[in-house]
């Protein structure tokens, strides 16, 4: 197992390199980069100055000449390119970026004037908090529900819950978020929960118990939204994993020995059926952190990595884009490695080394 883990860790390096390279090429081709946006903002600012100058000329009866109305000078355009590092060729910028990444130095944000590492550390607690709690709730609901649906397959409970699961699977999470805001956050009916933010403004002055209550109060709607939008797929995965195991010969043999249903289910079936559920945990975590968090953070104005990445893409803030991409990719690769290790811990019969896994 140690050799397999070492191989996977070594494979992370070229994987990260090629992902960064592909995305670097894509953003170089995409129009509307930071230089273009800075030039546009400067021209708009000078255009406002030209308009103000024209108004002064009209009131004073004198003709004023305003150079900014004719666009930026080549010298100013060159200064903007130097400011954002675009005076260097693309391959040199990519090499500088890679050297910085070796020491987790992601550069400085173009528009927030802060180191990207500092921005990531500031936003990380919100995203981690939202992602871990929502994942825990989804698993606590989905696994028991999936097991019960497998035991009562085709019965009333299974059929009635399937309707709710179909709705939860079909309706996007941001729709649930909007509905919860309308009904419970002062939209049109009740104002039981806050509309935005992770904590109240007076959070620091509260007692420990008060801080816990305030945090739960703010997290209720976002976590409910993620639970409603994410538990259906895992429930069905759990159900059909258990149903497949329940039809195997070793289950019939265990029942023939006189074991009761709970011993058969949790003593024999549970370990085998949970393998596929554990295998899907990394993808579930990455999906929740990268995709699910994005909409939730925007709708509920939670200042996390998802919102930071969305703003960076809108502004073409390349250091933040690549820094966020690097962190999420590294997290995903490590989580998949952890999933493989858990696979073997649960079922020692699985050997990645003997099968030549890479």
Domains and CATH numbers, the chain: 31-103 (no CATH), 116-346 (1.10.3720.10)
| pLDDT above 70 coverage of the chain, percent | 74
pLDDT of residue 194: 78
Burial call 192-224: b when 16+ CB within 10 Å, e when fewer: ebbeeebebeeeeeeeeeeeeebbeebbbbbbb
pLDDT of residue 332: 77
pLDDT of residue 43: 58
Distance CA 137, CA 133 (A): 6
pLDDT of residue 83: 54
pLDDT of residue 62: 42
More confident residue, 358 or 275: 275
Are 244 and 277 spatial neighbours (Cβ–Cβ below 8 Å)? no
Q: What is the pLDDT of residues 103-130, one digit of tens each?
A: 878 888 877 878 888 888 888 888 888 8
Q: What is the pLDDT of residues 137-153, one digit of tens each?
A: 888 888 889 888 888 88
How many CB atoms lie under 10 A from the CB of residue 118? 13
Mean per-residue pLDDT for 155-183? Answer: 84
Distance CA 154, CA 171 (A): 24
The model carries a pTM of 0.70
Q: CA Rg, the chain, in Å?
A: 27
Q: Which pair of tokens denotes residue 101?
A: 């990444």
Instruction: Give the chain's mean pLDDT.
Output: 75
Residue 67 has pLDDT above 70, yes or no: no
pLDDT of residue 8: 80
Query: pLDDT class for 13, splitting at 50, 70, 90?
Result: confident
pLDDT of residue 191: 78
| pLDDT above 90 coverage of the chain, percent | 0
Distance CA 246, CA 270 (A): 10
Q: What is the pLDDT of residues 295-347, one digit of tens each?
A: 788 788 788 887 787 788 777 777 888 888 888 788 778 877 877 777 676 66
Q: What is the pLDDT of residues 186-217, one digit of tens each?
A: 766 777 887 777 777 777 788 888 888 888 88
Length of the chain: 358
pLDDT of residue 37: 59
Residue 235 has pLDDT above 80, yes or no: yes
- Tokens 């490590």 belong to 334
Query: pLDDT class for 66, splitting at 50, 70, 90?
Result: very low
Query: pLDDT class for 65, splitting at 50, 70, 90?
Result: very low
pLDDT of residue 311: 81
């Amino acid at each position: 197992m140690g050799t397999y883990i070492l191989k996977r860790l070594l494979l992370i390096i070229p994987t990260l390199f090629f992902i960064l390279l592909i995305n670097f090429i894509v953003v170089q081709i995409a129009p509307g980069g930071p230089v273009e946006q800075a030039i546009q903002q400067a021209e708009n600012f000078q255009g406002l100055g030209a308009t103000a100058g024209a108004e002064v000329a009209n009131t004073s009866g004198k003709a004023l000449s305003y150079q900014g109305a004719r666009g930026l000078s080549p010298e100013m355009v060159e200064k903007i390119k130097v400011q954002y590092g675009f005076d260097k060729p693309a391959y040199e910028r990519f090499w500088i970026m890679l050297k910085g990444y070796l020491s987790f130095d992601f550069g400085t944000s173009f528009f927030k004037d802060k180191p990207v590492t500092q921005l990531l550390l500031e936003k990380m607690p919100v995203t981690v908090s939202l992602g871990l709690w929502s994942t825990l709730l989804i698993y606590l609901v989905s696994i028991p529900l999936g097991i019960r649906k497998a035991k009562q397959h085709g019965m009333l409970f299974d059929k009635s819950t399937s309707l709710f699961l179909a709705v939860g699977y079909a309706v996007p999470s941001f729709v649930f978020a909007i509905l919860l805001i309308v009904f419970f956050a002062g939209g049109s009916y009740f104002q039981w929960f806050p509309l935005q933010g992770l904590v109240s403004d007076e959070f620091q002055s509260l007692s420990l118990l008060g801080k816990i209550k305030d945090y739960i109060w703010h997290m209720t709607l976002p976590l409910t939204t993620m639970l409603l939008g994410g538990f259906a797929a895992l429930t069905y995965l759990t159900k059909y994993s258990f149903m497949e195991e329940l039809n195997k010969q070793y289950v019939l043999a265990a029942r023939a020995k006189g074991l009761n249903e709970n011993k058969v289910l949790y003593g024999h079936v549970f370990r085998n059926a949970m393998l596929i559920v554990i295998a899907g945990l990394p993808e579930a975590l990455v999906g929740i952190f990268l995709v699910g968090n994005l909409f939730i953070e925007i709708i509920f104005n939670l200042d996390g990595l998802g919102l930071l990445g969305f703003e960076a893409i809108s502004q073409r803030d390349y250091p933040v884009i690549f820094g966020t991409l690097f962190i999420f990719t590294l997290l995903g690769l490590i989580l998949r490695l952890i999933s493989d290790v858990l696979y073997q811990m649960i079922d020692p019969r699985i050997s990645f080394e003997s099968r030549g896994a890479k």
